[in-house]
Amino acid sequence: MQNSVERHILMTISPTRSDPAVLRSMGTVTPTADDPGFVKTFGEALRDLKLVLEAERCQAFIFPGTGTLGMEALVANWLEPGAKLLVASTGFWGDRMADVARRHGVVVHHATVKPGEGPDMGALEAELATGVYKALAWTHVDSSTGVRVDCAAMATLARRYCALSLVDGIAGAAAEPFFQDECDVDVYLTATPKAIAVPSGLVLITAGKRAMDALARRTSPVLCYALDLTEWQPVMEAYERGEFGYYNTPAINLSLALATGLRLILEEGLEARWARHARVAGAIRAGLQALGLQLVAEEGVQSNALSTVYYPAGVGRELLAEVKAEGVVLAGGYHPQLGPRTFRIGHLGWVTPADAIATIAAIDRALTRLGVLAPERQGAGLLACHNAFTPPSIAPALAGSINRL
């Protein structure tokens, strides 16, 4: 029991803990795709997805697949072979987007920055000003570096040069504030297993009017048959009207789970959810700093969804096993250059202040056991993390009493 998956505090990026109500929906006896109850629930999931992304003027798509398949769907639908794409990369996932696009015969300009930096807006603008780009792609939160990108600023830049904005929001959606209609982002992609906290297997896409018009104006058929959104669109519209439609079989149980997961997010309230992620992320960052650990992401672009952290001198991946022995599961680094030198803490989904405190405490004990935490730093992370959650009137008194112990 002690080592069971259920007992661990999961501070990974993916999967994140699903609420038991979501898992119960997964366990429903599978209805047929034209069952009136399923049709209604799928329609509600489409509506709620638009509410979660503040994308009410958009067309929503929900279909089976991983996040990477969703990236493939963006490329296959919005970029015809020979089209030019500018990828503003802020880590591994931008690199993957560039790769996916090249495989589809798209001509890619891959704009990179140093790991931990946000996009170089001046360089992107100079590139867009050449006027050759069909689209600008970026990653809302890159889960290799923990860098968050300002979607509103990027979308404005794309629009100024008549480029479609294609956003990989897989690690950002439902963790970071995002308002698709207001930012006027053309296409936003996400998937279930991160902040949406539903088991993996569904691609979620919301596309605005410009993007839907561009899709309708394509001169060549979409090369990935199963990902053809011109075929999926009438199916989604049918479900929205309360009618059945078929293109490929929907992932029925996962869709039921998604409907429950989205409802739970809306019940918490978007503002409350974003604020919770910000509080938990802030407290974890305070704890890490007090432990003397450094983040990859520079100040100002640090995401509330996850933190990518450098190992301290003298330690590597063995830290993760030590932390796990304390009951907390973290993720390894995932970046071509930084991977072996970093680990990652997911603080997205249903994370609580208690999870943050337990995580910092577990890292403290693991570093201490590995002999790399100076005695004066022991306990400092825990106190900083706790204080970040505590009203200032209480915190100093507690600090005093802990110092006296």
Ligand X SMILES: *Cc1c(COP(=O)(O)O)cnc(C)c1O
Which distant-in-sequence residues (6+ apart) come within 8 Å of 332 by Cβ? 317, 320, 339, 343, 344
Query: Of 61-69, 116-124, 233-241, 275-283, which segment contacts ligand X by CB under 6 A?
Result: 61-69
Q: In the bound complex, what is the minimum distance in angstroms from residue 285's beta carbon to ligand X?
A: 19
User: Which one, 254 or 385, has the nearer CB to ligand X?
Assistant: 254
Q: Which stretch binds ligand X (CB under 6 A): 60-68, 123-131, 262-270, 379-387?
A: 60-68
**Residue indicated by tokens 């830290």:** 319
With H, G, I as helix, E, B as strand and everything else as coil, classify residue 349. coil
CA 206, CA 352: separation in Å to the nearest integer? 29
**Rounded to whole angstroms, what are the CA distances from 222 to 12, 79, 216, 255?**
35, 9, 11, 25
Residue 193 to residues 38, 196, 344, Cα–Cα distance (Å): 21, 6, 16
**Shortest distance (Å) from residue 64 CB to ligand X:** 12
Tokens 């902040």: give the residue.
195
- Of 55, 149, 171, 197, which one interacts with ligand X (CB under 6 A)? 171
**Closest C-alpha to 385, from 249, 254, 286:** 286
Count of positions on this chain that bind ligand X (CB under 6 A): 13
Phi, psi values for residue 139, rounded to 5°: -110, 120
The answer to whether the CB of 14 falls within 8 A of the CB of 200 is: yes
Of 83, 191, 358, 363, which one interacts with ligand X (CB under 6 A)?
191
Instruction: Locate 62 and state its tokens.
Output: 């929900």
In angstroms, what is the minimal distance from the CB of 171 to ligand X? Answer: 3
Query: How far is it, in rounded angstroms, from Cα 113 to Cα 17?
Result: 32
Part of the chain binding ligand X (CB under 6 A), chosen from 63-71, 229-237, 273-281, 348-356:
63-71
Helical H segments across 184-296, by residue range: 209-216, 229-241, 252-268, 270-290
Q: Which of 12, 14, 25, 307 binds ligand X (CB under 6 A)?
A: 14
Tell the smallest beta-carbon distance from residue 139 to ligand X (Å): 5
Residue selected from 25, 143, 206, 342 as contacting ligand X according to rule CB under 6 A = 143
Cα 353 to Cα 4, 389, 404: the distances in Å are 22, 7, 25
Q: Which residue is at the shortest CB distance from ligand X?
A: 67
Q: Which of 12, 139, 255, 303 binds ligand X (CB under 6 A)?
A: 139
Residue 28 makes contact with ligand X by CB under 6 A:
no
Comparison of 96 and 386: residue with beta carbon closer to ligand X: 96
Member of 41, 61, 67, 205 binding ligand X (CB under 6 A)? 67
The 287-326 site mask, x for binding ligand X (CB under 6 A), equals ----------------------------------------
Please choose, out of 25-33, 166-174, 263-271, 276-284, the segment that lies near ligand X by the rule CB under 6 A: 166-174
Is the previous residue joined to 15 through a cis bond, with omega within 30 degrees of 0? Answer: yes
Distance CA 328, CA 7 (A): 9
Cβ nearer to ligand X, comparing 139 with 302: 139
Whose Cβ is closer to ligand X: residue 335's or residue 386's? 335
User: Which of 78, 93, 274, 350 is in the footprint of ligand X by CB under 6 A?
Assistant: 93
Chain residues that interact with ligand X, rule: CB under 6 A: 14, 66-68, 93, 139, 142-143, 168, 170-171, 191, 200
